Amino acid sequence: MSTLKAQPRLYSSRESILTLKAHLSGKQAKIPKNPTMEDYITYIKKLSNRLKQGPLDFWIPNVFRRLIQVIRLMSSEDGFFPIKDKEKNFKELGLTILRKSIRSKTTVETGSETGSNAIQQDVILPSIEQVLEELEAHSDDINTFASTHFFTNEVLLVYEYSTTVLNFLLSAKKTRNFEIIVLESETENLGKQFATDLGKHNLNVTLTPFTNAYAIMQRVNKTLLGVDAILKNGGLLMHPGTYAICVLAKQFAVPVIVLSGAHKLTPKYAFDQTTFNQLVSPLKINPNSTIDQMSIGITFDYVPPEYISLYITNQGQYTPQSIYQLFSDFYNVKDEDI
Amino acid sequence: MSEKQNQQNPKKGEPWKPKEKFDKKANKKKQEQEQEQVEGKQETNKQQQQQNQQPIIPQQTIDQQSSQPQLPINDKQIALADASKEPNKRKDFLSHLPIFQDYTSVSIKTVKQIDPFTLHHAFIELCIQYQNGQCIGSTHRCVEFLNALKQFIRDYKLSRQSNYFAMAFLDELKEIFNLMKNFRTVNEGMSTSYLFIRECLMILRDTRLDENESKIWLCNQIDQFIQSKIIAASELIVKNATQLIQEGTTILVYARSYLIENFIINYIKQGKQLTIFVVDNPQFGEGSQLVNRLQQQGISCYQILLSHVSYILSKVDKILVGASSMLCNGALVSRVGTALLACLASTHKIPFLVFCESYKFSEKSQIDSLSWNEIAQLQQGNENQQYTSLSLRYDITQSNYINMIVTEVGLIPATSVKAVIGEFKKYNYVDAIEVPRKEQ
């Protein structure tokens, strides 16, 4: 989805869902003749394994997990999970209506081979549409909370590029004025890019290098972060440097707010910096690296849950202590091995 | 016009003479006039009118960094470097910090024509080096400054009797300092050396030495200062620090410090093992300089960026950091980014050691990094950028993050800085200064 990520990926989450759709519609999928729900699910799991790029690719398995969960819900008889808020309620209503229309179709056609195939397709294709819609519209749902979290003339701290945060700030700008400080990491130009994109919309933006973080933090009222992955214990995986910022924010009692779509929820656990991490090529950090002066660079920073104040997702607002509830709604426990 | 330039522009090698009239009042008036003209010029800048041909003196503080377009070099104007254009709301919270204009050597030479108290060429070279970034690091700057001062002393010639050498030179010193403040802030080491030289001049005033002898004595005193306060101090610090660090530890170093470099080289030459991580600051390039110098000595180390430091903190035993100065309330003034490292160190319970000579101890106090700082000029200044960039040079680390300071007087906690300053005040900064006697 975001082409500005540090590591370019072959498939974005959205594209991987579209490939699944293409496979199914083009009838190239290797599915047995009378496919049941389980066959489809195993096929999807295999596809996610194939499209995944390495053990640190969380995003593709996440969307496929979500897809499987939606399929399960759609095809089960009584698939209501507890109602949380009105918007969700309406979504479920939409699903039940869809489900009923499908069921009405099946009563007409009595399970012939092509019929049952078509039925499965009628369950799976709508759920694909549902997931795609969730992916695209997650920003709008997050922005509904935009105005409730800021006061006027506040100073916000942001780190590196995040489209979610960008949209959030642009929608918050309509109601009140604030100042933004963008920290930029030393290696990439993402910070500069973010500052220019924000500046185009007439926001008051200051760009500082990462080393000035301590000096600047005294002036900051809130920190906004985008994420790469939210872990099941409430921790975060993000661009390297985030851990240092969160430690500083705790020292200065600055609240840290994390914005993300729910497709970044990853049902895994980590406890230190090395669980999900990977060293990058030394030449990326310092083109003059040799064996004697090796440069070390990492891909992710793990932030433990105690440094974070609030998660704002398109499924609602959660604290790190309660975000596990969202996992049980969003995914199914059976699919966590993808 | 060109003849005038040749007359006033002293060639290298010739002794530098001040203008004959030591008329303070006249000079003051002229300076006031010039200041008014500069302010008037700034107003016209703000209204974005065309520049009048007025002489401009570099000012110490500028209220707002107004965008000043590049001017043609006349014999009365200084070419101002193209400061980056910013929107009007720039730096509301940092408008109190001094901003330095970029000077080229050509522009400084034009200054020499209009200002009677112009800088000696040694100082000009030094100031340009300060601005380019060729001469950074507190010890390096201080030593280079003292060397330039010695050269100035040798070339200095009084037109009057030698009794007035001390007082005349005191005035000269003040003027030099004031002018140098236009290029970069004067760091603590330089201030201490200035106070020391002033003490020497006070002593010199009471004795009866002629000009040459007093010059020689002064140069000797400066040499002694460098020897005892910088070179001998560094040896003692290295010796003290060697007791602290056992063989085989992993240390983390930030940016480049003369003392830490010496310490590492010394330690490894003794045959002991160390794993070294150097945290680099790509904006100033100091980390990579340190790595290169260590590599020349045959020492291998790992290089890492400040944002990636969280990964290796669990493997590091000690953190070593150099200092620009230590303040009276126990705070450390050092390269920007040190406070971040100190905060992380305290969270992970890693000892944080500071290497600092005693001549860098200061009587100031400061709590946060923004109330006084120096803004580092970034090379790129986009005219169309819609954001403002900000980049500081120094950082204040609070005393509760510092575990120990290694100085030549011993290993002291951060809170004892005030006591050490008090001790040194009794002894003129370098034990007792020898009273000069006439040579036979």
* DSSP per position, A132-157: HHHHHHHHHHHHTTGGGS--TTEEEE
Helix (H) or strand (E) holding B172: helix B165-180
Alpha-carbon torsion angle B280, B284, B285, B286, nearest 10: -70
B300 CB near a chain A CB, below 8 Å?
yes
Residue A310, burial from CB neighbour count under 10 angstroms (0-12, 13-18, 19+): middle
B337 CB near a chain A CB, below 8 Å?
yes
pLDDT at B200: 86
Task: Let me know: does B322 contact B256? Beta carbons within 8 Å.
Answer: yes
Q: Which residues of B touch A239 (CB under 8 A)?
A: 307
Alpha-carbon torsion angle A140, A144, A146, A148, nearest 10: -170
pLDDT at A253: 94
Which residue ranges in chain A fall short of pLDDT 70? Answer: 1-11, 27-29, 77-120
The shortest CB-CB distance from A187 to any of B305, B310, B344 is to B305
DSSP helix/strand/coil, A160: coil
Q: Which residues of B touch A295 (CB under 8 A)?
A: 302-304
* Nearest residue on chain B to A214, alpha-carbon basis: B340
* Nearest residue on chain B to A296, alpha-carbon basis: B304
Q: Which residues of A touch B268 (CB under 8 A)?
A: none
Q: A205, B300: Cβ pair inside 8 Å?
A: no
The shortest CB-CB distance from A247 to any of B301, B302, B343 is to B343
Interface test with B, best of A157, A248, A293, A298 (most B CBs within 10 A): A293
Task: Let me know: does B254 contact B323? Beta carbons within 8 Å.
Answer: no
DSSP helix/strand/coil, B375: strand
Which residue ranges in chain B fall short of pLDDT 70? Answer: 1-92, 100-119, 159-163, 377-384, 427-440
How many A×B Cβ pairs under 8 Å?
A: 148
Q: Which residues of B touch A219 (CB under 8 A)?
A: 93, 370
Interface predicted TM-score (ipTM) over 0.85 = no
Q: Which residues of B touch A215 (CB under 8 A)?
A: 336, 339, 368-370, 373, 392, 395-396
Q: B300, A292: Cβ pair inside 8 Å?
A: yes
CA distance B339 to chain A (A): 6
B306 CB near a chain A CB, below 8 Å?
yes
CA distance A183 to A194: 10
Walk across the sheet containing B301-305 and list its strands. A293-296, B301-305, B275-280, B250-254, B318-322, B352-355, B404-407, B410-412
pLDDT at A92: 62
CA distance B47 to B31: 24
CA distance A4 to chain B (A): 19
State whether the Cα torsion A219-A224-A230-A232 is positive or negative.
positive
Task: Let me know: does A179 contact A156? Beta carbons within 8 Å.
Answer: yes
* Nearest residue on chain A to B312, alpha-carbon basis: A273
Q: Which residues of A touch B352 (CB under 8 A)?
A: none
CA distance A258 to chain B (A): 19
Q: What number of CA atoms fall less than 13 Å from residue A192's CA on the CB side?
A: 9
Residue whose pair of structure tokens reads 């909370």 in the numeric block: A145
pLDDT at A242: 93
* Nearest residue on chain A to B298, alpha-carbon basis: A292
Q: Which residues of A touch B300 (CB under 8 A)?
A: 291-294
* Nearest residue on chain A to B255, alpha-carbon basis: A211
pLDDT at A94: 66
Helix (H) or strand (E) holding A311: strand A310-313
Distances (CA, A) of B308 to A234, A241, B114, B137, B274: 21, 6, 51, 24, 21
Predicted TM-score (pTM) of this structure = 0.78
Residue type, B404: M
Quote the mean pLDDT of chain B. Answer: 75
pLDDT at A156: 92
Q: Which residues of B touch A251 (CB under 8 A)?
A: 343
* Nearest residue on chain A to B395, alpha-carbon basis: A215
